[in-house]
A and B are shown apart, each in its own frame.
Chain A
Amino acid sequence: MRSKNLNPDQRLGQRCRFFLVFALSALGAFTPCYLGSEEAAKSFVLDNGLKVFLLEKRSVPLVNVAAAVDLGSKDENAETSGLVHVLEHCILFRGTETRSGSEISRDVRRHGAYFNAHTGQDIAFFEISVPASASDFALSNQKEILFHLKITQEELDTEKEIILEELRQLEDDPFGTATNLVYQHLFRGHAYANPLIGDPEVIKNLTADKLEALYRRYFVPPNCSLAVVGDFNLAEMEEKVRRVYGDVKGEAPPPPRFEPAQAPKGVVDLEVEMDVQKAYLVIAVQAPDFNSPEQYAMDVLTEVLGRGVNPLLYSALNQGPRRLVETIMMAYHSHKYGGAVLAFLTLDPKNLGRTKREAVNYLRRAREGYFTPADFPGDEQMYAFDHLRSAQNQIRYNAYESQEKGLFLAMSLAQFMILREGQAQGSYLENIDRVKSGDLRKVADKYFGRTDYVMISIVPRKK
C-alpha cells in the first residue's frame, strides 16, 4: 500500500485485518459488542449504486470520511503499469472542474484536515479527517475530487516528476524494496505482481487523455464505497450523504476477471545490495485470500509465529546464547484473489545464509507444531505455553485498539464493502475464538509446508 501524503502512521498496513472484527459484525446483523452505548451504525446503497456505511463514534470531535474505489494495480498491465497510482496523485493534488490543486490544498488546510490517499493491489483509497464542524466540507470535497476531476497535461507532467521521486525514495528503503520484489516473484504471472508505483517508462510517456479514460471508467458510484465514522447524528449524516452524493451518475465497469493466484514454481532467493549496515530479509509465501474461511487460522498462526509476545520463529532463531536475528515482524496481507504472509527480519549480514535456511525449515515444520498444552503428552502439559490462547488474546487486543481510531475504522469499512463476498458467519472475533490447534497445523501444512518460498535480502554493498 503506497501512501501519498506525509503521515505514514495512519496507513492501512497489515493491521487492517484486525479491524475487520468490527466490519464483520457491522455488516451482518449489527451488534455493537464493544462499542459504547452511544454509537449507532447504518449501511445502505444509494440509487446510483454507491455503497455507504455510517458509524457514530463520539469519543472525539472528528468526522472521518473514507472512499474506496475498486481499482488497483491488479487492473493494470505492462502498458498501463502505474496509472492507478498516478491517477490517485492527480485526484489528491491536481484540481477539479471547479478548483485548482492549490485551492484544494488551501481549503484542506483552512479546515485543519488530514487528507490522504493510497493505492493498493485491489483498491484505491481516498480519506479525509476533519473537525466535526467541517463534515459538510469533507463530504463535498471528497465528492468533487472523486467524481469531478480535471486532468491537464501540464498538471500531469508536474505530478509525474514527483512520482518518480517517490520511486527513488522506495529504492532507498530496504523493506520497501524487498516487499516490492516479493510481490513480483510471489505472484509471477498474476496481476498482483504489478508494482504499485508502476513502470517509470510508462509513467514518463503517459498522456492526460489516457489517464482520463481510466478515470472515467472506474470512478463511478457503483464501483465505489463510502464510509463515514465520527461525531455526528446518524440520521442527519444519512441525509447529508444522500444529498451530496445522490446526483452522481455513472455505469458500473464490466466485472473484472481474475484467476486465483498460482504459487511460484520453486524457491526464489535474491540478494540486493544497498548502502546499509545491517541485513534486511523478507521471507514470503502465498496465503488465504480475503474471503477464505482459512483467513482466521492464518491470522492466528501469523500471530503465534511472528507477531505476538515472544513469537515462535524468533525463539527458534535465537536459542540460548546463539542469536541469529535481532527483530522479526510477520504480516498477513489478504487480497481479493490471493494473499501473502511476509516475515520481516533484521539481522547481522554474516548470519543471513543460516537464518534463511533455519527460518524456512522452521516454517515448513510448523505443520507439526504444538500450540496448546493439550497438544503435549502427559506431564509435559503442565510446562507447555498456550500459544493459541495468547495469539487469540493478542488479536482481541489489536481489534479493540483499532476501535479507538476513527479514520482507521472508516478505511476498513470502505475496504470491506468492496472486497467482501457473501455473508459473514459470525463476527471476526468469534471466528478467531473458534480456531483450534489443529486448524493452525492445517493452514501451516497448506501454506508453509511448501518448497516455493520467496526470499529477498537487502545486504550491505560490497566494498
Chain B
Amino acid sequence: MTGQKTWGVISLWSLALMVGASGLGLGAQKRVLENGLTVILERDESSANTILQILIKGGKRADTPAKRGLAFLTTRLLIEIPDSGKAQQLISLATRASANAADDYSLVQIECLSANLEPSLKVLSKIFLDPLFSGIRVDAVKKYMEHQSRVEEDDSVRLGHLAGLRAFFAGSGYGGSMYGDRASLEAVKNKDVSAFYKSHFVGSNIILSIASDLPENALLDIVGRYFSAIPSGSSVALARVAPSGPEEKTIQLDRDTKQVFVGLAYRLPGISGRNFALASLFESLLGKGQGSRLWSLRAKMKLAYNVNCRATQMQEGGLLEAYLETDTAKREAAREALRSVLVDLYQNGTTEEELLYAKNAVKTDFIRESETKAGKAGILAFFEASGLGFEFFGSLFSEIDALTLDEVNSYIREILAAEKALEVVIGPAPES
C-alpha cells in the first residue's frame, strides 16, 4: 500500500470496510432535536477528547455529473475560518475541523479536547449557520480541489478506484472524484453553492454523531445550544441510481511507473443489512491479509507485494475491487493469475472452513475499527445515514453469523459473473 492518504480518504476506506457487531456493547443513544436534527451520542471515557461528526446526507450522490465536486466544495467552505479573530480562538483551543464528501453524505469532523468542546462549537457553529460564500473563498477552495484531484491521480490505487466508479456509475454522482474535475468545477457557480447549502444543510438532513467522555446530558445541552438554530427543512430526495454495466471490459490507463496496477472490479448491490454483511465477508475472504484467496498471488506466485480487495458500499450500489501491483514484466502473468482466482471462486464457491475464518476476521476487524472514538462515531453515523440505523452496530455480528454457505456462494455467483467484470490496468502502455 502506498501511505499517502488524507484523513478523508482513510475515512472513506474505513467506512467502506465497516461491519457491525452484536458482540460489542451498544452504548449509544439517539435523540432528535426539534428541528429534526438526529443526534447520536456515545459515551466513551477512554480519553479526554471529543469527536463530533456532522453528516449531511447527499454527498457525491447529490452531485450531478456536470457539476461534480459541489458537495465537497460546499462542505469544505463550512470550515474555512472567515476572520482572524475566530481563527485565533480555534488555534488557541487546538480544535481541528476537517471536511470530506463520501458517496452518500458530506462530513465535517471536529476534534477537540473535551474541555474545549463548548468554546469550539461557539465559533464553528456560527460559521456553519452563516457561511461566507464569496467568490474569493470559493475560488480558493476550487484550486485546492483541483490540486487534490491531481494528487489523487498520481496514485495508481486511487486512480484504479476512480476508474471503477467512472465505469459503473457514469451517469450519477457516484461516478467520479469528490473533488470533481476542472470542467465541472468551472461549471459550479456561487449561486449553486448557496442553493446546495440551503437545501442540504437543514436539520432533517443532518446527523450529529458524538463520541466523548462528557456526560450525555451535558452533551445534549451543548448540542442543543449550538445546533437548534439550524432550520428544520426537509430531507433531500435524491435521484435513484440506475444499474449500468461498464461499456468497456478493459480500461488501460497509461502511467510511466515501475509497477503495473492490475485490477478486476464488479458492481455490488445497494446497501442493506444483509448485503453489508455479505460484501464485508466477501471482501475479507477474497483479499484481506494472510490466508485470503489473493494472498497466494503474493506468497506462492511472487507476483506482488501489494494484493488487496476493497468493497465500497453505497446506498444505491457498490464496487468490489480485487487488485495487485506488479513489475511491468509480469503484467500478463498477473492479469491471468488474478482472473483465475476470481474464476475459481465463481465456479467453485467457498467452503465452510474458509467462511468461518472470514467471519472471524471480519468481526475482529470491526472491533478494531471501532476502538477509537473517531472510528466508533464514524461507524454509528454511517449506519444511520445509510438507512441501516445506528442500532445496526449492535446486530451485525448476528447478521454475519446467520449467513449460510449457500447464501454466500449464491452471492458470489451473482457478483462475479465474468461478463460483469471490468479490468483496470494502469502502468506503461503495453508494447504492441
The closest CB in chain A to the CB of B304 belongs to A165
Does B1 contact A113, Cβ atoms closer than 8 Å?
Answer: no
Question: Please, how many angstroms separate the alpha-carbon atoms of A57 and B48 in the complex?
Answer: 15
Does A171 contact B288, Cβ atoms closer than 8 Å?
Answer: no
**Which parts of B68-117 form the interface with A (CB within 8 Å)?**
87-88, 90-96, 111-113, 116
Question: Please, how many angstroms separate the alpha-carbon atoms of A319 and B78 in the complex?
Answer: 21
Q: Is A8 an interface residue (CB 8 A)?
A: yes
Known: A93-B299, A326-B147, A397-B49. A115 touches B113 (CB 8 A): no
Question: Please, how many angstroms separate the alpha-carbon atoms of A309 and B308 in the complex?
Answer: 34
- Bitwise, A408-439 to B at CB < 8 A (1) or not (0) is 00000000000000000000000000000000
Does B47 contact A400, Cβ atoms closer than 8 Å?
Answer: yes
Q: Is A361 an interface residue (CB 8 A)?
A: no
Does B94 contact A309, Cβ atoms closer than 8 Å?
Answer: yes
**Which parts of B160-198 form the interface with A (CB within 8 Å)?**
none
CB-CB under 8 A from A169, the residues of chain B are: 2, 258-259, 305-306, 325
Among the stretches B148-156, B215-223, B344-352, B384-392, the one at the interface with A is: B148-156
CB-CB under 8 A from A104, the residues of chain B are: 290
Does B113 contact A59, Cβ atoms closer than 8 Å?
Answer: no
Does B91 contact A158, Cβ atoms closer than 8 Å?
Answer: no
How many Å from the CB of B330 to the closest CB on chain A? 9
Interface size range on A against B = 35 or more
- Bitwise, B35-51 to A at CB < 8 A (1) or not (0) is 00000000011111100
Residue from the set B46, B95, B325 with the largest chain A CB neighbour count within 10 Å: B46
Q: Is A396 an interface residue (CB 8 A)?
A: yes
Q: Is A218 an interface residue (CB 8 A)?
A: no
Give the contacting residue for A131; candidates B256, B304, B364; CB below 8 A.
B364
- Bitwise, B1-27 to A at CB < 8 A (1) or not (0) is 111110000100110000000011000
Give the contacting residue for B306; candidates A6, A174, A327; CB below 8 A.
A6
Q: Is B143 an interface residue (CB 8 A)?
A: yes
Q: Is B370 an interface residue (CB 8 A)?
A: yes
CB-CB under 8 A from B144, the residues of chain A are: 326
CB-CB under 8 A from B298, the residues of chain A are: 162
Q: Is A28 an interface residue (CB 8 A)?
A: no
Question: Please, how many angstroms separate the alpha-carbon atoms of A400 and B308 in the complex?
Answer: 32
Known: A11-B3, A276-B154, A385-B91. A112 touches B365 (CB 8 A): yes
Does B156 contact A172, Cβ atoms closer than 8 Å?
Answer: yes
Known: A326-B144, A385-B88. A113 touches B364 (CB 8 A): yes
CB-CB under 8 A from B1, the residues of chain A are: 3, 6-8
Does A323 contact B256, Cβ atoms closer than 8 Å?
Answer: no
Q: Is B363 an interface residue (CB 8 A)?
A: yes
Does A34 contact B47, Cβ atoms closer than 8 Å?
Answer: yes
CB-CB under 8 A from A59, the residues of chain B are: 44, 46, 371
Question: Please, how many angstroms separate the alpha-carbon atoms of A60 and B304 in the complex?
Answer: 34
Number of residue pairs spanning A and B whose beta carbons lie under 8 angstroms apart: 218
The closest CB in chain B to the CB of A404 belongs to B372
Does B147 contact A129, Cβ atoms closer than 8 Å?
Answer: no
How many Å from the CB of B381 to the closest CB on chain A? 17
- Bitwise, A46-87 to B at CB < 8 A (1) or not (0) is 000000000001011110000000000000000000000000
Question: Please, how many angstroms separate the alpha-carbon atoms of A166 and B4 in the complex?
Answer: 16
CB-CB under 8 A from A130, the residues of chain B are: 364
How many Å from the CB of A317 to the closest CB on chain B? 14
Does B2 contact A390, Cβ atoms closer than 8 Å?
Answer: no
Question: Please, how many angstroms separate the alpha-carbon atoms of A8 and B327 in the complex?
Answer: 21
Q: Is A262 an interface residue (CB 8 A)?
A: no
Q: Is A105 an interface residue (CB 8 A)?
A: yes
Known: A11-B3, A397-B94. A112 touches B113 (CB 8 A): no
Question: Please, how many angstroms separate the alpha-carbon atoms of A173 and B5 in the complex?
Answer: 12
Give the contacting residue for A309; candidates B49, B95, B360; CB below 8 A.
B95
Give the contacting residue for B154; candidates A34, A111, A278, A392; CB below 8 A.
A278
Chain B binding surface SS class: mixed
Q: Is A250 an interface residue (CB 8 A)?
A: no
CB-CB under 8 A from B4, the residues of chain A are: 173-175
Known: A106-B291, A385-B92. A62 touches B367 (CB 8 A): yes
Q: Is B205 an interface residue (CB 8 A)?
A: no
How many Å from the CB of A203 to the closest CB on chain B? 13
Known: A60-B24, A174-B154, A404-B46. A105 touches B367 (CB 8 A): no
Question: Please, how many angstroms separate the alpha-carbon atoms of A59 and B46 in the complex?
Answer: 7
Question: Please, how many angstroms separate the alpha-carbon atoms of A277 and B179 in the complex?
Answer: 16
Give the contacting residue for A406; candidates B151, B290, B371; CB below 8 A.
B371
Q: Is A136 an interface residue (CB 8 A)?
A: no
Q: Is B361 an interface residue (CB 8 A)?
A: yes
Does B46 contact A129, Cβ atoms closer than 8 Å?
Answer: no
CB-CB under 8 A from B94, the residues of chain A are: 308-309, 390-394, 396-397
Does B47 contact A404, Cβ atoms closer than 8 Å?
Answer: yes
The closest CB in chain A to the CB of B295 belongs to A105
Does A109 contact B325, Cβ atoms closer than 8 Å?
Answer: no
CB-CB under 8 A from B373, the residues of chain A are: 401, 404
Does B290 contact A108, Cβ atoms closer than 8 Å?
Answer: yes
Does B2 contact A400, Cβ atoms closer than 8 Å?
Answer: no
Known: A275-B256, A278-B147, A278-B151. A112 touches B306 (CB 8 A): no
Known: A171-B258, A277-B154. A112 touches B364 (CB 8 A): yes
CB-CB under 8 A from A309, the residues of chain B are: 90-91, 94-96
**Which parts of A314-347 form the interface with B (CB within 8 Å)?**
321, 323, 326-327, 346
Does A8 contact B360, Cβ atoms closer than 8 Å?
Answer: no
CB-CB under 8 A from A109, the residues of chain B are: 289-292, 357-358, 360-361
Q: Is A184 an interface residue (CB 8 A)?
A: no
Does B367 contact A61, Cβ atoms closer than 8 Å?
Answer: yes
Q: Is B255 an interface residue (CB 8 A)?
A: yes
Q: Is A144 an interface residue (CB 8 A)?
A: no
CB-CB under 8 A from B113, the residues of chain A are: 393, 396-397, 400
Apart from A13-B3, A129-B368, A278-B154, 11 more pairs, CB < 8 Å: A6-B289, A9-B10, A163-B305, A169-B259, A173-B2, A173-B4, A385-B88, A386-B92, A401-B111, A401-B372, A405-B372
Chain A residues in the interface with B (C-beta under 8 A): 3, 5-9, 11, 13, 34, 36, 57, 59-62, 93, 101-102, 104-106, 108-115, 129-131, 158, 161-166, 168-169, 171-176, 275-278, 308-310, 321, 323, 326-327, 346, 348, 385-387, 389-394, 396-397, 400-401, 403-407, 461
Among all A-B residue pairs, the 3 with the closest Cβ atoms: A393-B94, A112-B364, A109-B291
24 contacts between A and B (CB under 8 A): A6-B288, A6-B289, A7-B289, A93-B290, A108-B291, A111-B360, A112-B357, A115-B290, A162-B299, A168-B327, A169-B258, A174-B4, A309-B95, A321-B136, A385-B91, A385-B92, A386-B91, A393-B94, A396-B113, A397-B96, A400-B49, A401-B111, A401-B373, A404-B47
